[in-house]
Amino acid sequence: MRFSRKTLGIPYAVFLLLFVVAPLLVLFYYAFTNGQGVFTLKNLTDFFTDPNTLGTLAYSFAVSLATTVLCLLIAYPVAYILATSKLKAKSVIIMIFILPMWINFSLRVTALKEILTIIEGNLAFYPFLNSVLGMTYDFLPFMILPIYNSIVKLDISLNEAARDLGANGRMAFLRVTLPLSLPGIISGVSMVFLPAMTNYVVLDMLYNSTYIMGSLIGSYFNAYNWHGGSMIALVLLGIICVFSLITNGKEDEEAKTGGALL
């Protein structure tokens, strides 16, 4: 008995309808209604006029941006060295970076908390720094892997051609390797920046903070303010979608540029 593609796609369509489309419809309903179920834009205006919400959004953006930059500064040299070296144990080293992801997330953050407590004493003294360190520790492998995959696939003859044309090592890296590895950088930035804006577990476990969008949404729902919480989640979803569209467009553009160069 043979099944067509449409028949095989029915379970996936049902799954998407039940667990993606239906929750989004509920989110939209609560975001644009009040307690009586009447359509209103008050939740939207409250989001952009509430200093607490805007402050939390700014803090979340700052933590996410700092985490992304720190991950990139650490990940690119590591990925470049591993991809261009002639080490026979490169796969083992990559596995070392992936292994912490197999350990329970709570255990990893708890271990980091104990280390930071030994170093700092009171984690409340440096909340922003600890947040960035915790996020970086959590998301660093997501930045290393896409950059490594981009660099390891590059044709080494391009660098050799640049050297033959008179470019030194620094110039060859800036003009050839770095531009061609931009798709990996963009992928890594997307995989770090977006989750870091909402990952409140690290902050809660380090020093019980609520200064991030994920925990703010949770506090609204815990207070039974589903309408305000839904609007915050919807605005954050819009920001994530816009950022994803921008990064995907850049990634496609860089891929085409790299293909033309090759």
Q: Domains along the chain?
A: 56-261 (1.10.3720.10)
Work out the pLDDT band at 91, boundaries 50, 70, 90.
Answer: confident
- Which pLDDT band holds residue 84 (cuts at 50, 70, 90)? confident
What pLDDT is stored for residue 213 in this prediction? 85
Distant-in-sequence, close-in-space partners of 229: CB < 8 Å, separation ≥ 6: 30, 217, 218, 220, 221
At 174-192, the pLDDT tens digits run: 888 888 889 899 999 989 9
Region 135-157: what's the mean pLDDT? 88
Give me 149's structure tokens.
């995959």
User: Which residues 6+ apart lie within 8 Å of 144 measured at CB?
Assistant: 75, 78, 79, 94, 97, 188
> In the prediction, which pLDDT does 159 show?
75
> Which band of pLDDT confidence, cut at 50, 70 and 90, is reported for residue 125?
confident
Tokens, residue 52 = 């607490």
> pLDDT at position 128, please?
87
Q: Look up the pTM and report it.
A: 0.83
**HEC string for the chain:** CCCCHHHHCHHHHHHHHHHHHHHHHHHHHHHCECCCCCECCHHHHHHHHCHHHHHHHHHHHHHHHHHHHHHHHHHHHHHHHHHHCCCCCHHHHHHHHHHHHHCCHHHHHHHHHHHHHHHHCCHHHCHHHHHHHHHHHHHHHHHHHHHHHHHHCCCHHHHHHHHHCCCCHHHHHHHHHHHHCHHHHHHHHHHHHHHHHHCCHHHHHHHCCCCCHHHHHHHHHHCCCHHHHHHHHHHHHHHHHHHHHHHHHHHHHHHHHHHHHC
- Residue 147: CB atoms within 10 A of its CB come to 28
Task: Using the predicted structure, report yes or no on whether residue 29 has a pLDDT greater than 80.
Answer: yes
